[in-house]
Amino acid sequence: MAAGSAAGRPYRRIATEEAWISPELLTMYQKMLKDGSSNDSGFDSLWRHYGLGMSERCVNVRERMLDIGDRRINDMDAAGIDMQLLLLTTPGVQLLDAESAITLAAASNDQVSAAVHKHPDRFAALAAIAPQAPHAAAKELERAVTRLKLKGAVINSHSRGHYLDDGKFWPIFEAAESLDVPIYIHPNTPPPDMIGPLLARGLDGAIYGFAVECGMHLLTIMTSGVFDRFPKLRMVFGHLGEGLPFWLFRLDFMHRAQVSTKRYECLKPLKRKISDYMRENVYYTTSGMAWEPAIMFTRSVVGSDRVLYAMDYPYQYVSEEVAAMERMPLTDQDKKAFFQSNAESVFRL
């Protein structure tokens, strides 16, 4: 039995955006940083900090991210977390050449599957895939779900500036819809043609750049007609949807206005409103946003069945966070949905 349930709590606490990295991938990142081969200023900014930094925070994050065993479980117990959903951290394999990315994604899926098999009550996981090779990514997703029993895929947003609104990536969506598993879109640092003013001001990462980049990605997915083409596709976004729930009214109004005036050739009529897709195809985790007003607002506009708990471990490991979440003005039934049953429903746990 997982730690928290033994205390008589009528629900389990499942954290749904918890990062890990394989030793092989970290070593590759470190090599790319040292030899300057990434050609990506966002990656260099993020991973020169977490991959090579020697501050106490950087070392702790790095060591915790590598561990998918006892140390991680001890941290979960200290915070009152019963289960983690493991996601290969950003940018995953998406900065690599296609052949290397395909190989490393499969190896990381084998590794995380072994951790889940060893601790089935404490861990579940999403598959890493290589979007830069869409058909291979779809094939790996099928293998990961059917053979390794992983619960969907994580895509760390853009792949060298290429976004999933491009139809060349849609075999991945077709596979996810067919397998009835979700795709978790995790932020990446903005690509070169977006990052300039953010990087110059130290705002390229989680403080704001992640939200700018990933929030735009969700919008491009919706406006390109992905959910019209794949109406049963489920996607999950962290950080309470990168702020987009706050914009629901304006997104509907301005999208309708711009389509009607034919201002942009790329914006075509959709079968539903932007807010409909956000309420019917998208789920939202609280990773990095352990803030009651924002959580309660998001629940009120997208639905209480759409919002799931996540801690954003180990980047934002705060052991007192769960206690703060427990103080939200929710009934036990609502808390069970927030901490447990919504995650079980989305990820088929």
**pLDDT, tens digit, for every residue of 45-90?**
999 999 999 999 999 999 999 999 999 999 999 999 999 999 999 9
Beta strands in 141-206 (DSSP E): 153-155, 183-185
Q: Is the pLDDT of residue 2 over 80?
A: no
Percent of the chain with pLDDT over 70: 98
Q: Which helix (H) or strand (E) covers residue 249, if one does?
A: helix 248-260
Q: Where are the domains of the chain?
A: 13-336
Token look-up 């759409």 returns 306
Confirm if 94 and 153 have CB atoms less than 8 A apart. no
- Give the C-alpha separation, 51 to 26, whole Å: 7
Q: Cis ω on the peptide bond leading into residue 231 (within 30° of 0)?
A: no
Position 7 scores a pLDDT of: 65
Looking at residue 109, its amino acid is: N
Q: Is the pLDDT of residue 3 over 90?
A: no
- Give the C-alpha separation, 137 to 172, whole Å: 7
- Give the C-alpha separation, 85 to 48, whole Å: 26
- Give the C-alpha separation, 309 to 80, whole Å: 13
Q: What is the mean pLDDT of residues 19-29?
A: 98
Catalytic residues: 312
Q: What angle do CA 198, 200, 201 make, to 5 degrees?
A: 70
Average pLDDT of the chain, as a whole number: 97
- Half-sphere exposure (CA, 13 Å, Cβ side) for 181? 23
Q: Is the pLDDT of residue 210 over 60?
A: yes
Q: What angle in degrees, to the nearest 10, is found between the helix axes of 41-50 and 192-200? A: 50
Higher-confidence residue of 342 and 3: namely 342
Position 8 scores a pLDDT of: 79
Domain 13-336 has CATH 3.30.420.40: no
Q: Is the pLDDT of residue 1 over 80?
A: no
- Residue-wise pLDDT for 172-187, tens only, equals 999 999 999 999 999 9
| 225-254 CB burial, b ≥16 within 10 A, e <16 | ebbeebeebbbbbbbbbbbbbebbeebeee
Sheet with 83-88, side-by-side order of all strands: 14-20, 83-88, 123-125
- Give the C-alpha separation, 108 to 29, whole Å: 14
Confirm if 1 and 121 have CB atoms less than 8 A apart. yes
Confirm if 87 and 20 have CB atoms less than 8 A apart. yes
Q: What is the mean pLDDT of residues 309-320?
A: 96
What's the pTM? 0.97
Confirm if 113 and 149 have CB atoms less than 8 A apart. yes
- Give the C-alpha separation, 54 to 51, whole Å: 9
For residue 4, name the pLDDT band (cuts at 50, 70, 90).
very low
Confirm if 338 and 330 have CB atoms less than 8 A apart. yes
